[in-house]
Amino acid sequence: MKICYIWIERFRNFSNEEFNLASEYKFKYNRDDNTIDIEYLYKLPIDFFGENIKEVTAFVGKNGAGKSNALELICKVIKNYKSTINTNYLIIYEENGQLECRYNFDDILEPNSNFDINIEKFESQINPLKIVFFSNVFDERRNNFGKEITDVSVNNKYFRNSLSKKRETSDFLKQIKFINSSIFKNLNIDYPNKVVISTKVFSNRFNSSMEEKIL
């Protein structure tokens, strides 16, 4: 099984967003006319990513772009967590050479396509498919995954070891606290060699803000 495409109407910082996750296909869902289009790309050699690895996809972007949101969304869509997504979405995956589409729409009918694909209402989870979620971002986010998703992220490890501790309000203090924790030591990651504190100072002379950095 290979996950190929996800479209979401809205989720966190995403609005009418799509994610193409396959190397040999490029899909496009048009919300206005409710159609799915496909573009066939160059097919990679067999075992290009290694034996038993179907696909490798990377999300690249600056902080706050939505990389962690995208990973969380993929996990929840695959397992059809309607209650936590609460919007229209569809997913396309390939199984045994056949393209499959599962959609969850409240206000529109089944999407149309001009290529060979089996389209059905998303009634249950896509099985059998085991999911492991990992993110090294530490921002105290609770993903609230169900039992079907194994969460080995830094946030989840932190929460399991600090449920009775009072929440800090400063992100800076959270990071310092985490770096000094036993969890960080077990990750075998080098300690930062410096701390950069950025402040914005308004200048009357230039009528603009300037950023100062303290090392």
pTM for this predicted structure: 0.72
Q: Is the pLDDT of residue 174 over 70?
A: yes
Q: Two tokens at 176?
A: 């310092």
Buried (b) or exposed (e) across 39-74, using 16+ Cβ within 10 A?
Answer: eeeeeeeeeeeeeeeeeeeeeeeeeeebbbbbbbbb
135-171 pLDDT, tens digit per residue, is: 877 777 777 788 888 888 878 876 655 554 555 456 6
pLDDT score, position 161: 58
Q: Which of 51, 49, 56, 41 is nearest to 2 (CA)?
A: 56
For the chain, list the domains and their CATH numbers: 2-129 (3.40.50)
Starting at the edge strand found earlier in the chain, the sheet holding 112-113 runs 25-30, 35-40, 112-113
10-45 pLDDT, tens digit per residue, is: 998 999 999 999 999 999 999 999 999 999 999 889
Q: Is the pLDDT of residue 212 over 60?
A: no
pLDDT score, position 83: 75
Q: Is the pLDDT of residue 57 over 90?
A: yes
**Unique residue bearing structure tokens 């393209």:** 99
Q: Two tokens at 13?
A: 């910082």
d(CA 153, CA 186): 14
